Amino acid sequence: MSPIIAPSLLSADFLNLRTEIDMVNRSEADWFHLDVMDGVFVPNISFGFPVTEKIAQCAEKPLDVHLMIVDPDRYIERFRKAGADRISVHYETCNNLHRTVHAIRNSGAKAGVVLNPHTPVHLLSDIIRDVDLVLLMSVNPGFGGQKFITHTYEKCRLLKELILSTGSDSLIEVDGGIDLENAPKLVAAGVDVLVAGNTIFTAADPMATIRQLKQIA
């Protein structure tokens, strides 16, 4: 089955965001991936509610919101109101992950949990049946355009095993350094959703690049 493609707007041209969103609307991409950074959990600051609301007004595909922020519980309702269809929180930021995941679901959004490169997959064994999505970071979060960490393949396989052995219906998403070379290997390792920033937005023909990612079987 072809993967779900989620272009990361972090790599888009912010001066021409409307044009970039229209391109994604017309393309074969499935979701918009929005990277929210607070300058505390990660060493970068991106955007928050006003920009998310504006994106939601012209996006014709679901918004997949990746929260790289401390204390995400405080902002779940506001991101949902701003237009988030999926909200993913980092395992590393949640002391009461079960509560957070259910707060996301109660808001009406799908719930995702994100693991940094150093966080092992087995830590999800007691929450995996409660989540709609696990996002494996294949770079250290904070910036687009970084090098893919190859240990991610092994984590994908372990996560796929965990999902199958527990009867979870969670999707597997990977984020960071994805290109046309590693994407087929990720899909072969069981990945359902590919996030791509630089590979799409710096391409000569972004729509063609999205099509190439979408055609991976």
For binding to ligand DX5 (CB under 6 A), which residues are involved?
A: 8, 10-11, 33, 35, 66, 139, 141-142, 144-146, 175-178, 195-199
Does position 86 bind Zn ion by CB under 5 A? no
Could you tell me the CA-to-CA distances from 17 to 22, 55, 113, 146 in Å, in that order? 9, 8, 27, 22
Q: Where are the beta strands (DSSP E) in 138-213?
A: 171-175, 193-196
- Backbone angles phi and psi of 146, in degrees to 5: -95, 170
d(CA 209, CA 166): 35
- Select the binding partner of residue 23 from Zn ion, ligand DX5, none (C-beta < 5 to 8 A, by kind): none
Identify which range of 33-41, 57-65, 82-90, 203-211 contacts Zn ion by CB under 5 A.
33-41
Q: Which two tokens stand for residue 213?
A: 């990612």
171 touches, from ligand DX5, Zn ion, none (C-beta below 5 to 8 Å by class): none
Note if 38 is an active site residue: no
Tell me the C-alpha distance between 101 and 170, whole Å. 13
Which DSSP category does 128 fall into?
Answer: G
| Extended strands (E) in the chain | 4-7, 32-37, 63-68, 86-90, 110-115, 133-137, 171-175, 193-196
Residue 28 vs 166, nearer CB to ligand DX5? 28
What residue is closest to ligand DX5 based on CB? Answer: 197
Query: Does the active-site annotation cover 64?
Result: no
Residue 35 contacts Zn ion per CB under 5 A:
yes
Confirm or reject binding of residue 66 to Zn ion (CB under 5 A).
yes
Q: Give the one entry of Zn ion, ligand DX5, none that residue 144 binds, where binding means its C-beta sits below a cut-off of 5 to 8 angstroms depending on kind.
A: ligand DX5
Q: Which stretch binds Zn ion (CB under 5 A): 72-80, 99-107, 174-182, 198-206?
A: 174-182
64 binds Zn ion (CB under 5 A): no
Angle at 129 between CA 125 and CA 134, to 5 degrees: 75
Tokens of 88: 């993913």
- For ligand DX5, the closer of residues 166 and 185 by Cβ is 185
Q: How far apart are CA 92 and CA 41, in angstroms?
A: 9
Nearest residue to the partner Zn ion, using Cβ: 66
How would you class 98 by CB atoms within 10 Å of its CB: exposed for 0-12, middle for 13-18, buried for 19 or more? exposed
Least Å from the CB of residue 53 to ligand DX5: 20
Per CB under 5 A, the segment of 19-27, 34-42, 73-81, 208-216 that binds Zn ion is 34-42
Nearer Cβ to ligand DX5 (83/141): 141
Give the binding site for Zn ion (CB under 5 A). Answer: 35, 66, 175
The catalytic residues are: 35, 175
